[in-house]
Structure 1
């Protein structure tokens, strides 16, 4: 890179802190005072970073190049999101998601309610890839049922949010999962497999905790009529069948076998349209149209109305814009040297896998705390520490896993993030009230840090220079 494309010097820590304070002010005023979309706040932050770039004698053309590079590096997430929107809409219309919810509700029992709420929300989020959609549908129903059981609502909210973020963090349909894999330059399925080493024990322990506490709080003779009403409403509005679980099994199976995500998810959307036409009696043209506009219908049950009226490529456009602005901001911060300055600070301290893990997680929390969104946290977690992983020969699968643990997982734990605000508003419980019961989140954080300091599942990769030398050698050999 020529001098005209690089800043004359790296920004010092005071300048970086000045940009961060300005960023906080823009986010706070835009979202909390003016009520503007977070997309506009991120867009406005571009020019704050550009102002620092101009102070460092950097040309606008170079900054634009960094902005475009940042967006380009995350375009896979954008492409997957469009197919995921189609998938969600057709899977709801086709009865696939309703069948998953229905069979999840069949396990409902007062003693195991908290455990069931955790599992149902986990299954819902895994099948849809969205924590917000899960909390706004199955989660709302769980809050009502839990209230009738006499269980403290913060505890119910903890089970709901814990389950909702299982899929947000683990589902191949989740935008944050796809985005993290893209930012860290890791294969999507390899990223999920890496997270499983942490999430599997966290899910198991959280399940046991919710099960034990459920037996403590709930008596045996309580009213389960709300769960029955939800199941009856699902049966009244959909054809429910175990066969409708097959498309979900097929898609997950194909993704697990490392088939490309975009064609597989698109194929899943096609299966959803077929199910909508064949099993639910929707006309073939309308079944196809749902892939873009999403599913929409009205029932007498508010829970179903919230559940059904979503999905479609159209519903993802605002999320796509959010990702583009967040990626552009990350590219600008990288080009101007902000992330390099922060990374250099971490580099001097993070000299072993434990500190490397903590530095990445702090980067993620930093993004949530100052940026107010999971997308920002994933950029800060991955970008400011990725070079440290390469220099220490640690595989980037570890980076992507740690980025999710510090970014995605901590989002609902901060009251002013999009996740914190949404969960508190939707479930009617303040962030600080449900925070002590986010047991899955706390376990993921604790196990991730434990793995780092105990050197568990810290896979090694070739040092970057050696890998480059080997690649050059192979290229020369093939040329000769």
Structure 2
């Protein structure tokens, strides 16, 4: 058999291919009002054309794309399950009940800080930012709108909490992936993140508290009373509706697989819709597929509750499938590896190392369109610099986690960006400026790394393969 070889792309080829993709992505979404799915679909052929020019065979490129999709299919299943969960929990009165009691209990001045804390605890206990956003996140969005807080601001508080809890939970897929790909034990990985994460969390909580005090003076309590009354009229509000929430959170905290647990939550939602709300059984079952529909006469209630169902997630599924395939092609062609070589020439300290790693992880989200792509490729690309400069691999796993997880929801065409925009009902570019924990955490990481704080030096070694250092793969269950 002939030995087949291919070369890495030049910087010009990389910038030309990625520049064309970014032009398509922004023009389709911002100017032409065309779906991002088409831009990703066309992006496949841009990268395939580059790959063939570099000497790759089409069959190998197609296999790389399908392999990339295969690696992320678990996220697709969870996405569909969460869609069913949202639809049935609205129909069953579970989400309305949380909003109802939340409007009664949470004072407007602490709402944003409370939102971050509640969502972070939910994600920490369950290990899933997607599940936290799809349950506690949706409820807090409803409470926020009832209090008159702008939806993008509330979404920023929700995601600040969700991503903090996700990256500090030993149950999280991002934690498992970032640590295993870097060759670091999970406990050591979390310990490495803890100091910076806590500092950033406190700063962000103070910022949201200050902003909450600003909005507290503008709350129309008469509107809040109208919303509470309308909820009470449209649904049977009862504390028993918290039972499905408690069951699902406990099962996820016990580290049972997310897909069947969230699916069980949908079944409980159907039961509550039939038994508690008195819905027709067929209509209740249908809410797992089609969005729940309500005409209450109150715009706020209709806007927040007319959603859910697997059908509403199909556009997001297409984005994730195309995005994962696009990331697989970029990995095969060597695009991110070429970009990393630019950073490598200027990496000579802990600060520049942290900056380059976070930037590489962010680019993995931008061009790989999925957090999985970012967390898999970043350690592979950056590991040799940590070995060469003499820094422990837990610094690598921490920086890769911060750069990959905390920025994943900021990219409109990434799996997290599409999911969070769909589930919270706010455009990605609208809520991204309010993801304050992400910005604060990344800034604190870079500054402290340049100051030499929270870095762990070791004896420099010859560059070793990340593959050789990687721990035994753990089964990824949550998103």
Query: Which interval holds the TM-score relative to the shorter structure?
Result: 0.7 to 0.9
Alpha-carbon distance in 1 for matches of 2:421, 2:291: 25
Shift of 1:229: 1.5
What is the count of residue pairs matched by the alignment?
438
* Structure 2 residue 387 is the aligned partner of structure 1 residue 362: no
Which residue pairs with 2:159 in the alignment? 165
Which residue pairs with 1:241 in the alignment? 238
Map 1:42-191; keep pairs closer than 5 Å: 42-109=40-107, 111-112=109-110, 115=113, 127-129=132-134, 137-142=142-147, 145-146=148-149, 159-166=153-160, 169=163
SS in 2 for 1:106: helix
Would the aligned equivalents of 1:356 and 1:388 in 2 still touch at CA under 8 Å?
no
Which residue pairs with 1:394 in the alignment? 393
88-97 vs 388-397, which moves further: 388-397
Which residue pairs with 2:264 in the alignment? 267
Once the two structures are superposed, residues 161-206 of structure 1 have per-residue CA deviations (whole angstroms, 9 ceiling, x without a partner) of 322313653677xxxx98857975969xx79978887666544433
Would the aligned equivalents of 1:121 and 1:160 in 2 still touch at CA under 8 Å?
no
Alpha-carbon distance in 1 for matches of 2:137, 2:110: 24
Alpha-carbon distance in 1 for matches of 2:357, 2:27: 28
Aligned CA distance change for structure 1 residues 222 and 55 (closer, same or farther; 3 Å): closer
SS in 2 for 1:291: coil
Alpha-carbon distance in 1 for matches of 2:135, 2:47: 31
Alpha-carbon distance in 2 for matches of 1:80, 1:28: 28
Alpha-carbon distance in 1 for matches of 2:88, 2:137: 18
Alpha-carbon distance in 2 for matches of 1:420, 1:78: 14
SS in 2 for 1:385: helix
SS in 2 for 1:266: helix
Once the two structures are superposed, residues 309-360 of structure 1 have per-residue CA deviations (whole angstroms, 9 ceiling, x without a partner) of 2111111111111000000100111111112212333445557665444334
Aligned CA distance change for structure 1 residues 158 and 201 (closer, same or farther; 3 Å): farther
SS in 2 for 1:35: coil
* Structure 2 residue 407 is the aligned partner of structure 1 residue 406: yes
Aligned CA distance change for structure 1 residues 162 and 259 (closer, same or farther; 3 Å): same
334-343 vs 379-388, which moves further: 379-388
Q: TM-score, normalised by structure 2?
A: 0.75
Q: TM-score, normalised by structure 1?
A: 0.75
Which residue pairs with 2:28 in the alignment? 30
Alpha-carbon distance in 1 for matches of 2:378, 2:353: 8
Shift of 1:273: 1.6
Alpha-carbon distance in 1 for matches of 2:194, 2:225: 34
Which residue pairs with 2:126 in the alignment? none
Aligned CA distance change for structure 1 residues 131 and 341 (closer, same or farther; 3 Å): farther
Aligned CA distance change for structure 1 residues 314 and 216 (closer, same or farther; 3 Å): closer
Would the aligned equivalents of 1:125 and 1:163 in 2 still touch at CA under 8 Å?
no
Alpha-carbon distance in 2 for matches of 1:304, 1:358: 44
Shift of 1:94: 1.5
Would the aligned equivalents of 2:291 and 2:308 in 1 still touch at CA under 8 Å?
yes
Alpha-carbon distance in 2 for matches of 1:388, 1:367: 11
Once the two structures are superposed, residues 63-91 of structure 1 have per-residue CA deviations (whole angstroms, 9 ceiling, x without a partner) of 10111111111111111112111111111
Alpha-carbon distance in 1 for matches of 2:13, 2:95: 49
Alpha-carbon distance in 2 for matches of 1:287, 1:140: 26
Which residue pairs with 1:319 in the alignment? 316
Alpha-carbon distance in 2 for matches of 1:129, 1:199: 23
SS in 1 for 2:255: coil
Which residue pairs with 2:477 in the alignment? none
Alpha-carbon distance in 2 for matches of 1:78, 1:57: 32
Which residue pairs with 1:476 in the alignment? none
Aligned CA distance change for structure 1 residues 214 and 134 (closer, same or farther; 3 Å): closer
SS in 2 for 1:315: helix
Map 1:278-317; keep pairs closer than 5 Å: 278-317=275-314
Aligned CA distance change for structure 1 residues 381 and 450 (closer, same or farther; 3 Å): farther
Alpha-carbon distance in 2 for matches of 1:11, 1:131: 45
